[in-house]
Amino acid sequence: QQPVQSPQAVILREGEDAVINCSSSKALYSVHWYRQKHGEAPVFLMILLKGGEQKGHEKISASFNEKKQQSSLYLTASQLSYSGTYFCGTEYSGSARQLTFGSGTQLTVLP
Amino acid sequence: DAGVIQSPRHEVTEMGQEVTLRCKPISGHNSLFWYRQTMMRGLELLIYFNNNVPIDDSGMPEDRFSAKMPNASFSTLKIQPSEPRDSAVYFCASSLRGIYEQYFGPGTRLTVT
């Protein structure tokens, strides 16, 4: 039931773009994105509700394709501060209100 | 405003001992969550309180784990007896709107030897 994130890890240079995907085998009501830096707590980035909504946070944006049961996180012109592990949390339609987190995507931005 | 406060930040204990983790949510938040994070299993929800009432405890591993929220500003997670496989980072999170926009505390790193 855990959503599947891909890739597991990505390394890029400052200024490059990256895409992180989150896929579910079950119908989704919402998708939540968090970032966790090493040794710190996860920090909320954004929520996407069903309806194909796209949201943004600085140069980080995301989309939610309800039919495909997947969400993608787009990091544009990456900065060093974007390094960390990105988690998607999924809320399934018709189930108790809770988030199930994926295993995370480790993003490393090099100078 | 202070964020979510957790104590202790680190706990090392021997197998069989009782462990109590503490959490103070952000003032005004009405939902509180306990998570466990390990390399193998990732970030797992243990229990979710809304207005001090447990809503979903399906993630609590077994009877050795118990959680309480006696009032809106305090919650505890107790493990008795502790086992080495309980070693993990335990996060407490709170929110104003149910599962949406959760604010995580710094975590308690528990090591059971």
Length of chain B: 113
First to last CA, chain B: 36
Nearest to B43 among A96, A98, A101 (CB): A101
Q: Do the chains contact at B45 and A98, CB–CB below 8 Å?
A: yes
Chain A residues within 8 A of B55 when measuring between CB atoms: 96-97
Residue A53 is predicted with a pLDDT of 62
Nearest to A41 among B100, B101, B106 (CB): B106
Residue A67 is predicted with a pLDDT of 86
Cα(A46)–Cα(A23) distance, integer angstroms: 17
Residue A54 is predicted with a pLDDT of 63
Q: Do the chains contact at B100 and A104, CB–CB below 8 Å?
A: no
Residue A85 CA: distances (Å) to CA of A11, A68, A105, B79? 12, 24, 5, 28
Residue A56 is predicted with a pLDDT of 66
pLDDT tens digits, B37-66 = 999 999 999 999 999 999 888 889 889 999
Residue A104 CA: distances (Å) to CA of A9, A41, A42, A78, A85? 8, 14, 11, 18, 6
Q: Do the chains contact at B104 and A99, CB–CB below 8 Å?
A: no
pLDDT tens digits, A45-65 = 999 987 666 666 678 999 998
Chain B residues within 8 A of A35 when measuring between CB atoms: none
Nearest to B99 among A2, A91, A102 (CB): A91
- pLDDT at A34 exceeding the cut of 70: yes
Q: Do the chains contact at A44 and B106, CB–CB below 8 Å?
A: no
Residue B2 is predicted with a pLDDT of 84
Q: Do the chains contact at B104 and A104, CB–CB below 8 Å?
A: no
- pLDDT at A2 exceeding the cut of 70: yes
First to last CA, chain A: 37
Residue A55 is predicted with a pLDDT of 65
Residue A94 is predicted with a pLDDT of 72
Query: Residues of chain B whose pLDDT is less than 70?
Result: 1
Computed over every residue of chain A, the mean pLDDT equals 90
Residue A57 is predicted with a pLDDT of 67
